[in-house]
Amino acid sequence: MALEAIEPRRLYRQVADQIRIYLDSSGIPAGGRLPTERELAERLGVSRPTIREALIALEVEGRVRIRVGSGIYVAEGPAAGAPAALRGEHEGPFELLSARAFFEGAIAAEAAGRIRPDHIARLDEWIGRMEAALGPNPETIALDCEFHAAIAAVLGNAVIERTVRDLFNQRMSPYFGRLAAYFEDEASWREAILEHRAIRNALAARDPALARDAVRRHLERSQERFSRSFGDGEGEEPPVAGKTRHRALGPA
């Protein structure tokens, strides 16, 4: 038998596997309610962001349905063709945002010492176009990308600029897109614009530490926006009448 390389499994994929096994073995009917994010995190001993990434992966796969304000429910069945399409490893949204905070924070700190008036004018152009747009939508996401790429362009290194674009464009994954659909709206877009302006002002001040912190704060705030509660029964609403809520994955 041929030997094959062993690929490490991202934690959220391992958690998704555990929940999938639970769904297959527990006999919960379609429409049955799963434990909350908090309960799943406690049972599996992982963070709530990891649980959220796992649930989003399972929803894209068609195994669960997330109803904001209500809970997490067993879906009718896997989406046609989804398992094959999602068999590979994908960076989780929180993993991606953390990586961007690290890399882009360092880039902004370096850019603050090299920035010129024409660079500031370019950033102002992108912010102006972002303010005029009604987001979020594909157009505003593209403008967002251009703003971050314009900071990298200050360094005059095509590899660095391409890396920033590549990292940003990984948000086009089905996982990131599904999570964003729940939490990105016009209000969050306006918050993000203010954070972009704070980045611009820090760069214009030619303050490396301020620029680094402004970028990191923006991406950390993005993570916080994606971490808002689904409102999945943690005191917000009583269980739906006629639906059984399943509280545990195996024994306590």
- Domain assignment present for residue 2? The answer is no
pLDDT average per 10 residues of sequence, the chain (252 residues): 55 89 86 90 90 90 88 76 51 87 98 98 96 86 96 98 95 82 88 97 98 97 83 46 43 34
Alpha-carbon gap, residue 61 to 191, rounded angstroms: 31
> Are the C-beta atoms of residues 155 and 104 closer than 8 Å to each other?
no
Phi and psi for 182 in degrees, rounded to 5?
Answer: -80, -30
First to last CA, the chain: 40
- The DSSP line for 205-228 is TT-HHHHHHHHHHHHHHHHHHHTS
Q: Using CB atoms within 10 A of its CB, is residue 84 exposed (0-12), middle (13-18) or buried (19+)? A: exposed
* pLDDT score of 73: 92
Total domain count, the chain: 1
Question: Taking CA 51 as the corner, what is the angle to CA 50 and CA 52, rounded to the nearest 5 degrees?
Answer: 90
Phi and psi for 154 in degrees, rounded to 5?
Answer: -60, -30
Alpha-carbon gap, residue 160 to 21, rounded angstroms: 41
- Domain assignment present for residue 124? The answer is yes
Residue where the block lists tokens 């251009």: 146
* pLDDT score of 197: 98
The one-letter amino acid code at 92 reads: G
* pLDDT score of 252: 32
Residue where the block lists tokens 């590549």: 166
- Domain assignment present for residue 41? The answer is no
User: If DSSP codes are grouped into helix, strand and coil, which group holds residue 90?
Assistant: coil
Alpha-carbon gap, residue 154 to 206, rounded angstroms: 12
- Domain assignment present for residue 78? The answer is no
Alpha-carbon gap, residue 178 to 149, rounded angstroms: 24
The one-character DSSP state at 170 is: G
Range of the domain at 162: 93-226
The CATH number of residue 189's host domain is 1.20.120.530
Q: In the numeric block, which tokens belong to residue 183?
A: 């939490």
Relative orientation angle of helices 48-61 and 174-183, to the nearest 10 degrees:
110
- pTM (2 decimals)? 0.76
- Domain assignment present for residue 173? The answer is yes
* pLDDT score of 138: 86
- Domain assignment present for residue 9? The answer is no
- Domain assignment present for residue 107? The answer is yes
- Domain assignment present for residue 185? The answer is yes
Element spanning 67, H or E: strand 64-67
Alpha-carbon gap, residue 189 to 17, rounded angstroms: 33
* pLDDT score of 79: 54
